[in-house]
């Protein structure tokens, strides 16, 4: 099964996790003939961390960070590449990717973090001269967008005479998905927030480098391509780098709205101030080989589909379970809540700031400094329950054996089944998806609805039925390593396995202690 087929099924399930969430690929809208690769990256930390803008300090506002597990306020290239894991699908990429957190400001003053499972990161081969694309150098970092903007930046990207250019404001865009495959016309700000299938925030990065400075706080070491997502580099920034593009799926419709407003962490209701940060943490051999072998530059080569596995250099360290197997870390200021329902925005955010057209003023840094002494040096993995303190056990050792009692009393493990042949579910009677999924939750759910089989997939999805159907078989219990296996940890119980990509961990109810009226029996067991 290809990832593309899989992705479309995820949409049907309104899957919240970022794993495989590059659904309606924005890259396709930009011109799909160009070679690229795309990876899903779960959240590794949420909090006031920004080693580029606020090195060694607590940042002014809260970010959602994906990638290297050991990201801190003072990350260096060497610390990133030495991270124990990454939440991105490519293990050799220990880069860090971050954007501001989105909140809903309730009428009563509380702020609620808007559900989101991380970033989808695109590496696109772009630029008229793209055969000359060079890898990001170690130590490189950059920021695109401007947190202070509250209106569309109409200034054209400066280019040589006769070259077509676009306004800076086009680097940020928002897509509002109203059905699995329909979206409203993309906007450069948060015009639409009623988006049943997700609000996708998107940002394009600078692809032209001066070839000298690895980072400059004013970002003058980098420049945009003349048309942002394509075109030419200015003569001052002659080195063409891979074109980075981030997508974040937010789920505004999962918030119980009460006449409040959506607001990015820096106090921005407009979305014009959306921004993205990147810190290079790649294994230089791998990134160099991916580029030199044409994975970003050969449009008739294998990666025109965007699939990681079509690029041999990337396939070596590809894990589709990375988002689950490199869990989110505790925020670096443990005393400051940033997720769920909170009393105030993290930091000293002025709620009376400009909401356009004038720029907002930056948040009060002196306020932030009172937190600096609380920065933890290294954060422990964060897990709702069942998280081993030292997170070392490989997923393969966590699988039960068929027949073993697991979860609620009366339930046994039936095996690992394949799913989604011809877009039909192997357990098709009923399903539910939850951030806080455990095996027990799914078993109770299926049992309460009268079903005797409970199957978990992708860490957070639960399917019920009385037998396997639509071609599903239990042949995958001992799947060879080149195939997807049941290898994803449960969203809310990291010590157990809840299926995999297109794989179900199936449990069977053996005891007939249920008060359910169903008389069906399981007809398919291993």
Q: Is 153 among the residues that bind ligand NAG (CB under 6 A)?
A: yes
Distance, CA of 257 to CA of 319 (rounded, Å): 37
DSSP structure string for 435-469: TT--HHHHHHHHHHTT-SEEEEETTTEEEEESS--
Span near ligand NAG by CB under 6 A; candidates 41-49, 368-376, 468-476, 503-511:
468-476
Distance, CA of 228 to CA of 206 (rounded, Å): 7
Distances (CA, A) of 231 to 26, 42, 114, 126, 166: 18, 31, 35, 8, 10
Span near ligand NAG by CB under 6 A; candidates 46-54, 282-290, 320-328, 456-464:
282-290
Task: Label residues 58-74 b or e (16+ Cβ within 10 Å = b).
Answer: bbbbbbbbbbbbbbbbe
* The residue count for the chain: 526
Span near ligand NAG by CB under 6 A; candidates 185-193, 264-272, 438-446, 469-477:
469-477
CB of 354 to ligand NAG, least distance (A): 12
Span near ligand NAG by CB under 6 A; candidates 233-241, 297-305, 398-406, 477-485:
297-305
CA angle (165 as vertex; 220, 354 as ends), nearest 5: 65
Q: Is 253 among the residues that bind ligand NAG (CB under 6 A)?
A: no
Q: Is 300 among the residues that bind ligand NAG (CB under 6 A)?
A: yes
Of 380, 475, 521, 523, which one interacts with ligand NAG (CB under 6 A)?
A: 475
**CB-nearer residue toward ligand NAG: 108 or 390:** 108
Q: Is 478 among the residues that bind ligand NAG (CB under 6 A)?
A: no
Of 281, 381, 455, 472, which one interacts with ligand NAG (CB under 6 A)?
A: 472
Print the binding letters for residues 76-115 with ligand NAG: x by CB under 6 A, - otherwise. --x--xx---------x-------------x-x-x-----
Cis peptide before 301 (omega within 30 of 0): no
Question: Which residues, 335 to 354, sit near ligand NAG by CB under 6 A?
Answer: 341
Q: Is 32 among the residues that bind ligand NAG (CB under 6 A)?
A: no
Span near ligand NAG by CB under 6 A; candidates 16-24, 148-156, 477-485, 510-518:
148-156
**CB-nearer residue toward ligand NAG: 341 or 511:** 341
Of 302, 356, 403, 410, which one interacts with ligand NAG (CB under 6 A)?
A: 302
The residue whose two tokens read 């920065």 is 375
With residues binned 3-state (H G I as helix, E B as strand, rest as coil), the percentages for the chain, rounded to 5, are 15, 25, 60
Distance, CA of 170 to CA of 45 (rounded, Å): 28
Distances (CA, A) of 323 to 162, 265, 409: 45, 23, 30
**CB-nearer residue toward ligand NAG: 146 or 493:** 146
Q: Is the dihedral of CA 320, 140, 216, 51 positive or negative?
A: positive
Interacting residues toward ligand NAG by CB under 6 A: 78, 81-82, 92, 106, 108, 110, 149, 153, 155, 168, 256, 258, 283, 285-286, 294, 298, 300-302, 316, 341, 359, 418-419, 421, 426, 470-473, 475
């Amino acid at each position: 099964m290809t990832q593309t087929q899989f992705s479309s099924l995820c949409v049907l399930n309104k899957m919240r996790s970022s794993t495989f969430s590059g659904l309606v690929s924005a890259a396709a809208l930009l011109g799909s003939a160009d070679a690229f690769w795309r990876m899903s990256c779960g959240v590794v930390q949420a909090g006031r961390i920004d080693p580029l803008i606020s090195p060694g300090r607590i940042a002014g506002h809260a970010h959602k960070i994906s990638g290297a597990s050991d990201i801190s306020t003072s990350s260096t290239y060497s610390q990133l590449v030495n991270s124990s894991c990454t939440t991105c699908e490519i293990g050799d990429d220990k880069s860090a990717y971050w954007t501001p957190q989105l909140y809903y400001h309730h009428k009563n003053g509380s702020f609620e973090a808007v559900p989101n499972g991380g970033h989808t990161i695109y590496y696109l081969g772009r630029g008229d001269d793209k055969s000359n694309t060079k890898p990001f150098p170690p130590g490189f970092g950059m920021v695109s967008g401007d947190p202070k903007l509250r209106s569309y930046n109409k200034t054209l990207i400066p280019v040589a005479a006769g070259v077509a250019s676009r306004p800076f404001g086009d680097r940020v865009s928002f897509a509002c998905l109203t059905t699995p495959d329909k979206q409203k016309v993309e906007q450069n700000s948060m015009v639409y927030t009623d988006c049943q299938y997700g609000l996708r925030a998107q940002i394009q990065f600078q692809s032209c480098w001066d070839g000298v400075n690895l980072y400059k706080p004013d970002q003058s070491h980098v420049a945009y391509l003349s048309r942002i997502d394509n075109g030419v580099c200015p003569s001052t920034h002659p080195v063409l780098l891979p074109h980075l593009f981030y997508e974040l799926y937010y789920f505004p419709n999962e918030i119980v709205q009460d006449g409040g407003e959506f607001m990015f962490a820096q106090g921005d209701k407009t979305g014009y101030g959306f921004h993205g940060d990147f810190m290079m943490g790649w294994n230089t051999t791998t990134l160099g080989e991916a580029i030199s072998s044409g994975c970003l530059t050969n449009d008739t080569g294998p990666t025109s589909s965007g699939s990681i596995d079509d690029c041999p250099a990337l396939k070596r360290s590809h894990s589709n379970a990375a988002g689950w197997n490199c869990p989110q870390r505790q925020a670096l200021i443990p005393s400051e809540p940033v997720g769920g329902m909170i009393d105030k925005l993290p930091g000293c955010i002025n709620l009376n700031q400009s909401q356009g057209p004038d720029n907002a003023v930056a948040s009060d840094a002196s306020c932030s400094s009172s937190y600096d002494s609380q920065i933890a040096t290294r954060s422990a993995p964060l897990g709702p329950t069942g998280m081993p303190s030292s997170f070392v056990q490989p997923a393969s050792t966590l699988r039960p054996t068929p027949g073993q009692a697991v979860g609620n009393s009366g339930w046994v493990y039936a095996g690992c089944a394949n799913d989604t042949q011809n877009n039909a579910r192997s357990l098709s009677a009923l399903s539910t998806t939850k951030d806080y999924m455990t095996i027990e939750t799914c078993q109770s759910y299926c049992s309460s609805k009268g079903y005797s089989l409970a199957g978990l997939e992708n860490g957070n999805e639960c399917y019920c039925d009385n037998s396997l159907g639509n071609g599903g078989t239990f042949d995958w219990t001992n799947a060879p390593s080149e195939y997807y296996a049941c290898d994803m940890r449960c969203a809310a119980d990291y010590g157990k396995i809840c299926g995999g990509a297109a794989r179900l961990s199936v449990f069977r109810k053996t005891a007939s202690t249920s008060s359910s009226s169903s008389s069906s029996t399981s007809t398919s067991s291993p």
